[in-house]
Amino acid sequence: MGRQPCCDKLGVKKGPWTAEEDKKLINFILTNGHCCWRALPKLAGLRRCGKSCRLRWTNYLRPDLKRGLLSHDEEQLVIDLHAHLGNKWSKIASRLPGRTDNEIKNHWNTHIKKKLLKMGIDPMTHQPLPQEPSNIGNSKTISSNPADAISVEPKTTNTKDVEISGTTTEEESSSTVTDQNSSMDSENHLIDNIYNDDELFSYLWSDETTKAEASWSDSNFGVGGTLYDNNISGADADFPIWSPERINDEKMFLDYCQDFGVHDFGF
């Protein structure tokens, strides 16, 4: 018996996606939605497994993704959420609109983990490392470089015991989004960092503007009737639903894009 493989290995392409494949995937999802990932590659004319398509879409092609490095505020939020949730990257990602679990996971492993270790904080427990007792404190900001400074709330509860509801708690609000000015700065910083392979994306989305508009105003659109019906992984819980009603004119759509930090998609 055993589990059926997600796709027959023969004839299924692996490895990096080409611009052509991206375009096919975008094209298909914009016109049909993603009714069934397993069937999608065949229908879209892709020699990929459905899983690979889903990953590519959710981690890279989704138009609501923010691009570029995580801002200081976002990083801080990730640390706070990780202290509460542990390695529940998808849950953490759901609190950061436009960010994917994969992106956050990578950022954690490559940047934040190191920063915390450097600061004498155990990245897993969020407690001071035993060999550096001088670091013990309730809340601290330690860094030789002010720009890198991260305040850390020592974790007092077991991650397994804490279940956070869909709404942002008071504690989180106060510990993460400290002031509007810093948010604005980070937003500007974000815009600066956002995504520099503009050419590729404007190519990928070049034909999609008109198609997308047609699709969004088309009752025939997708299974759920919306581009993001209810099945976008990660950030879906906190996201408003994209629907033809909401995005039936260009201005609204652009506003919408901006709300999610999509500043350059060739639209």
Partner DNA sequence: AACTCACGCAACCGCGGGACG
Partner DNA sequence: TCGTCCCGCGGTTGCGTGAGT
Q: Is 162 in the site for DNA (CB under 7 A)?
A: no
The count of chain residues that interact with DNA, using the rule CB under 7 A, is 41
CA distance linking residue 29 with residue 33, whole number of Å: 4
Task: Report d(CA 136, CA 108) in Å as an integer.
Answer: 22
Show contacts with DNA in window 95-134 (CB under 7 A).
101-103, 105-107, 109-111, 114
The reply to whether 69 sits near DNA by the rule CB under 7 A is yes
Distance of closest approach, residue 250 Cβ to DNA, in angstroms: 28
Distance between CA 229 and CA 223 in Å, rounded?
8
- Provide the minimum distance between the beta carbon of 209 and DNA in the complex, in angstroms, as a whole number: 23
Tell whether residue 239 is a contact of DNA (CB under 7 A).
no
How far is Cα 160 from Cα 215, in angstroms, rounded to an integer? Answer: 43
Nearer to DNA by C-beta: 236 or 254? Answer: 236
Q: Note whether 89 binds DNA by CB under 7 A.
A: yes
Which residue number, 12 or 254, has a Cβ lying nearer to DNA?
12
Tokens of 196: 């520099």
Q: In the stretch 37-66, what mask flags binding to DNA with x, by CB under 7 A?
A: xx---------x-xxx-xxx--xx------
Could you tell me the CA-to-CA distances from 32 to 92, 183, 252 in Å, in that order? 29, 37, 22
d(CA 128, CA 120) in angstroms, rounded, equals 6
Of 23, 62, 72, 91, the residue at the interface with DNA (CB under 7 A) is: 91
* One-letter amino acid of 182: S
1 binds DNA (CB under 7 A): yes
Q: Report the amino acid identity of residue 225.
A: G
Please tell me whether residue 15 binds DNA under the rule CB under 7 A.
yes
Residue with the two structure tokens 């492993």 = 109
Which residues on neighbouring strands pair with residue 128, listed in sequence order? 121
Residue 141 has φ and ψ, to the nearest 5°, of -130, 110
Give the interface with DNA as residue ranges (CB under 7 A).
Answer: 1, 3-4, 6, 13-17, 36-38, 48, 50-52, 54-56, 59-60, 69, 87-91, 101-103, 105-107, 109-111, 114, 231-234
